[in-house]
């Protein structure tokens, strides 16, 4: 393989969690270890306000939540790490689902106080579908939470995954004293509000050593011995192939805000996480070691820099070598395009790159050529598959408050829905614009961004729809009759595909029963 060395160095993964589990904090600790930032929370938004490095949209800083996926690259111990920090909020789940198509593995953060939460379940269903390898980080061990054995049992049961502890906590809450590294046979001692250093790590190859009592006290030393004996007996050594196949998830305990237990996980991640792999297309499998370049767009972000009306398309490189200023084939548009300023990212900080290899994420300046799922190649015609659009759950009609700004409103709606923040439907045979979202917060974000980025003001009127279903049929006449009969419930998506907007589950089931020749799809592969 021509680029074997580059491929072997790369690890591309996403951090996912329920909101407030500590995902963005953990991201920052990774960046600190990689030397990518010097101060946690250091952001150049302005001199006074500090916010998380990876939260770069104004509304994110105001609300204190991540609503768009950030991409960050840094080096650690000879590996080049591409980290994608995803929105935790359930209203932005679709952005996270798509991001999972662009990574090779996942770190799942679980709050030890709250355990498994609803959003975590939904994300794990998508991960299980793709058999993506997962490492679990149980966070906030310095707070009073669920008992560690109970927590492991809950995670295994709720998320249908087998766990394998790699570190083990010594107490929790105000009595939290540190973690024991089961592989390296060492104890790392915890002191609240101080950064863990190598001096805090004690090698204890024999747990019966009196040094353990000296450091932990009689009771805690004895509890740790019993726990470790039990864990060793049940779990033994981690079989890395079971992790890589998505069957077993290694587990680490710690406190991200105190930068505790993070290094153990990062070191293991470097050692066992998968390098980039082959990918499916509509024509064939594309091998990661092929000489010719290919990649796909998994995210589009408008107005990354508020001073310039730009859009950045995020490209995952799948094979070959991406080169600056080289012409590549845009498959959907059937035209050749080149990029004079492709970017790599550290949150809002962009730097121009000359080349990129499989596993890398590159930002491409976009004037409206890209949609999510677009494929770039060195000439071959194929699409990467498995980049779905999901049915929205809430539907609202767009009402323009300022007719003088109609053009700005239409441009803004097109650009924001190209990003995948929401879906845009147009009433069949009419002009009524309908926005479909997974959650209410997305409407707030759209309204805010249209006003502040495009100068367009609008209000939303709620619509009584329950699901959007994409329609296909092998019998054009049956489909035509259905559209005629159900005209008020038919819309077109942005790609001109027919969609049925069902008022309720009962209506949907009735139509499916009455129209056996028509297929009702709940997800839409971006390219048909």
59 and 128 belong to one structural domain: yes
pLDDT score recorded for residue 64 = 45
More confident residue, 106 or 200: 106
Do 356 and 463 fall into the same domain? no
Stretch among 88-97, 259-268, 347-356, 425-434 having the lowest mean pLDDT: 88-97
We report the CATH number of the domain holding residue 323 as 3.40.50.300
User: Other CB atoms closer than 10 Å to residue 58's CB: what's the count?
Assistant: 15
Interval 514-523 mean pLDDT: 88
Which of the listed residues 220, 255, 272 is the one where a domain comes to its end? 272
Residue 216: the pLDDT is: 83
Spatial distance between the Cα atoms of 362 and 375, rounded to a whole number of angstroms = 13
Is 258 within a domain?
A: yes
Could you say which DSSP state residue 40 is in? Answer: T
pLDDT confidence bin for 47, thresholds 50/70/90? very low
> Above 90 in pLDDT, residue 276?
yes
* Torsion angle, alpha carbons of 36, 190, 265, 90, to 10: -80
Q: What confidence tens digit (pLDDT) does each residue in 260-272 have? A: 888 889 999 999 9
Q: For residue 9, how far is the Cα from the chain centroid?
A: 21
What is the mean pLDDT of the segment spanning 37-43?
49
Query: Over 60: is that where the pLDDT of 50 sits?
Result: no
Domain range enclosing 315: 279-377
Name the average pLDDT for the chain: 82
Q: Is the pLDDT of residue 376 over 80?
A: yes
pLDDT of residue 34: 74
**Residues 250 and 367 both lie in one domain:** no
Q: Where are the beta strands (DSSP E) in 320-422?
A: 322-323, 328-330, 335-337, 343-346, 349-352, 355-356, 361-366, 375-377, 388-390, 394-400
- 113/253 same-domain check: yes
Q: What is the pLDDT of residues 322-348, one digit of tens each?
A: 999 999 999 999 999 999 888 776 544
Q: How confident is the model at residue 55 (pLDDT cuts 50, 70, 90)?
A: very low
CB-CB contact of 130 with 106 (8 Å): no
pLDDT (0 to 100) of residue 67: 39
How is residue 522 written in tokens?
A: 């709940």
Mean pLDDT along residues 5-21: 87
pLDDT class for 42, splitting at 50, 70, 90? Answer: very low
Among 272, 292, 321, residue at a domain's last position = 272
> What is the reported pLDDT for 36?
61
Residue 229 lies in a domain: no
SS3 (DSSP) at 353: coil
Sheet-wide strand order for 167-170: 167-170, 178-181, 186-189, 201-203
* Strand extents, DSSP E, 133-261: 134-139, 162-165, 167-170, 178-181, 186-189, 201-203, 248-253
- pLDDT confidence band for 59 (50 / 70 / 90): very low
Instruction: Supply φ then ψ for residue 356, to 5 degrees.
Output: -150, 155
- Residue 23 and residue 110 share a domain: yes
**Cα Rg, the chain, nearest whole Å:** 25
Q: Label residue 205 left, alpha or beta by phi (over 0 means left) and psi (-120 to 50 means alpha).
A: alpha
In this prediction, residue 164 carries a pLDDT of: 95
Burial of 505 (0-12, 13-18, 19+ CB in 10 A): exposed
In a domain, 197, yes or no: no
Residues 411 and 502 in one domain: yes
Backbone angles phi, psi at 305, to 5 degrees: -110, 110
17 to each of 23, 237, 347, 382, 452, how far by Cα in Å? 6, 27, 19, 33, 29
Instruction: Return d(Cα 528, Cα 519) in angstroms, integer.
Output: 14
Residues 324 and 419 in one domain: no
Decide if 240 is inside a domain.
Answer: yes
Check if the beta carbon of residue 294 is closer than 8 Å to that of residue 286.
Answer: yes
| 349 and 398 assigned to the same domain | no
pLDDT in tens, 154-198: 999 999 899 999 999 988 888 888 888 888 888 888 776 555 454
Q: Are residues 108 and 245 both part of a single domain?
A: yes
Cα–Cα distance for residue pair 217/230, rounded to 1 Å:
20
Distance of CA 289 to the CA centre of its chain: 25
**The residue to which tokens 């106080």 are assigned:** 113
- Helix axis angle for 406-418 and 440-454, nearest 10°, is 130
Torsion of CA 200, 204, 205, 211, to 10 degrees: 160
- Residue 51 in this model has a pLDDT that exceeds 50: no
Given the structure tokens 């559209």, which residue do they identify?
Answer: 483
pLDDT digits (tens, 9 = 90+) for 439-473: 787 888 888 888 988 899 999 999 999 999 999 99
Determine, yes or no, domain membership for 466. yes
Q: 422: domain CATH number?
A: 3.30.70.3280
State residue 414's pLDDT score: 86
pLDDT average, residue stretch 95-109: 86
Segment 296-308 mean pLDDT = 69
Q: Is the same domain home to 457 and 486?
A: yes
List CB contacts of 9: < 8 A, sequence separation 6 or more: 78, 79, 80
User: Does residue 26 form part of some domain?
Assistant: yes
Same domain for 163 and 299? no
Closest CA to 411 of 400, 137, 124: 400
Q: Which two tokens stand for residue 215?
A: 């450091």
Average pLDDT over residues 127-133: 86
pLDDT band for position 525 (cuts 50, 70, 90): low
Residues forming a β-bridge with 136:
108, 251
pLDDT of 358 above 50: yes
Q: Please give the pLDDT value at position 250.
A: 96
| pLDDT classification of 221: cutoffs 50, 70, 90 | confident
Q: Given CA atoms 498, 503, 509, 513 in this order, what sign does their dihedral have?
A: negative
Q: Per the domain annotation, does 190 fall within a domain?
A: no
User: Mean pLDDT, to the nearest integer, of 383-401?
Assistant: 85
Domain end point (choices 349, 377, 405): 377
What angle do the packed helices 148-159 and 118-130 form, to 10 degrees? 60
Please report how the helices 262-272 and 23-33 are oriented relative to each other, as an axis angle in degrees rounded to 10.
70
> In this structure, are 354 and 463 located in the same domain?
no
In a domain, 467, yes or no: yes
Mean pLDDT on 351-368: 86
> How many domains does the chain fold into?
3
Contacts of 89 (CB under 8 A, 6+ apart): 19, 65, 66, 67, 119, 439, 441
């Amino acid at each position: 393989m021509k680029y074997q060395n580059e491929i072997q160095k790369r690890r591309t993964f996403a951090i996912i969690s329920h909101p407030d589990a500590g995902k963005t904090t953990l991201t920052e600790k990774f960046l600190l270890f990689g030397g990518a930032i010097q101060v946690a929370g250091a952001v150049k938004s302005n001199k006074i306000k500090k916010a998380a490095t990876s939260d770069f949209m104004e509304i994110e800083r105001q609300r204190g939540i991540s609503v768009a996926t950030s991409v960050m690259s840094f080096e650690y111990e000879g590996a080049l790490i591409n980290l994608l920090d995803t929105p935790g909020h359930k209203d932005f789940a679709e952005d996270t689902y798509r991001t999972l198509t662009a990574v090779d593995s996942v770190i799942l953060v679980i709050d030890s106080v709250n355990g498994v939460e609803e959003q975590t379940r939904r994300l794990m269903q998508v991960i299980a579908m793709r058999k993506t390898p997962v490492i679990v980080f149980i966070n906030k061990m310095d707070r009073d939470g669920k008992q560690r054995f109970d927590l492991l049992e809950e995670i295994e049961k709720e998320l249908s995954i087998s766990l394998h502890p790699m570190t083990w906590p010594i107490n929790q809450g105000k009595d939290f004293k540190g973690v024991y590294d089961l592989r390296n046979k060492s104890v790392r001692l915890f002191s609240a509000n101080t950064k863990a250093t190598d001096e805090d790590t004690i090698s204890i190859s024999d747990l019966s050593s009196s040094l353990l009592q000296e450091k932990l006290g009689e009771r805690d030393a004895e509890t740790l011995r019993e726990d470790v004996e039990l864990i060793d007996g049940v779990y033994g050594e981690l079989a890395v192939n079971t992790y890589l196949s998505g069957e077993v998830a290694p587990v680490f305990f710690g406190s991200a805000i105190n930068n505790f237990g993070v290094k153990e996980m990062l070191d293991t991640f470097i050692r066992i996480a998968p390098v980039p792999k082959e990918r499916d297309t509509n024509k064939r499998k594309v091998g990661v070691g092929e000489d010719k370049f290919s990649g796909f767009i998994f995210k589009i972000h408008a107005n990354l820099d508020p001073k310039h009306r730009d859009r950045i398309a995020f490209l995952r490189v799948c094979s070959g070598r991406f080169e600056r200023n080289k012409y590549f084939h845009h498959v959907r548009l059937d035209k050749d395009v080149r990029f004079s300023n492709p970017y790599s990212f550290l949150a809002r900080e962009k730097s121009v790159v000359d080349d990129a290899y499989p596993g890398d994420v590159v930002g491409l300046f976009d004037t409206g050529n890209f949609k999510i799922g677009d494929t770039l190649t060195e000439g071959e015609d194929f699409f990467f598959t498995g980049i779905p659009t999901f049915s929205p759950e809430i539907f609202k009609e767009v009402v323009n408050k300022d007719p003088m700004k109609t053009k700005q409103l239409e441009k803004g709606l097109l650009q924001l829905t190209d990003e995948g923040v929401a879906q845009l439907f147009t009433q069949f045979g009419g002009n009524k614009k309908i926005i479909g979202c997974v959650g209410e917060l997305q409407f707030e974000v759209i309204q805010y961004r249209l006003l502040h980025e495009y100068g367009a003001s609008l209000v939303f009127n709620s619509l009584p729809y329950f699901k959007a279903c994409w329609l296909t049929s092998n019998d054009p006449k049956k489909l035509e009759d259905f559209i005629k009969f159900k005209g008020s419930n038919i819309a077109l998506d942005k790609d001109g595909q027919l969609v049925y907007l069902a008022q309720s589950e009962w209506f949907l089931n009735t139509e499916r029963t009455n129209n056996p020749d028509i297929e009702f799809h709940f997800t839409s592969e971006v390219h048909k």
